Structure 1
């Protein structure tokens, strides 16, 4: 993962888990994340995540 992905991973630690993809995208919009990151989060295959690691794993699978 690149530095932007690592920063995202650190930010995700502050969310309450489990989190739905819908809530994750809403959080990203409210946080002001860039359009590219929002598109990435919207394209994640899972509908729910149990931890920041789950999100990171899903992002890696897309790469």
Structure 2
């Protein structure tokens, strides 16, 4: 699905409070300076609540 790595994604989601929905993930990544590739990857996630970093990684990869 994506060219980004789990480490890249999690770098921009550090400090986020879970559970968190897709829009919250996108907002946090933007606030942490994520580039457009990371933002696009997060925006492509299903519109649901994620209970932690592993759930985000599983949905992306």
**Which bin holds the TM-score, normalised by the shorter protein?**
0.7 to 0.9
Q: TM-score, normalised by structure 2?
A: 0.78
- Tell me the equivalent position of 1:43: 44
Residue segments in structure 2 that go unaligned for 5+ positions in a row: none
**RMSD, matched Cα:** 2.0
Gaps of 5+ in 1: none
Return the structure number with greater helix share.
1
Q: CA deviation at 1:12?
A: 3.2
**Whose radius of gyration is greater, 1 or 2?**
1
Q: Does 1:26 align with 2:23?
A: no
Q: Shift in Å at residue 26 of structure 1?
A: 0.6
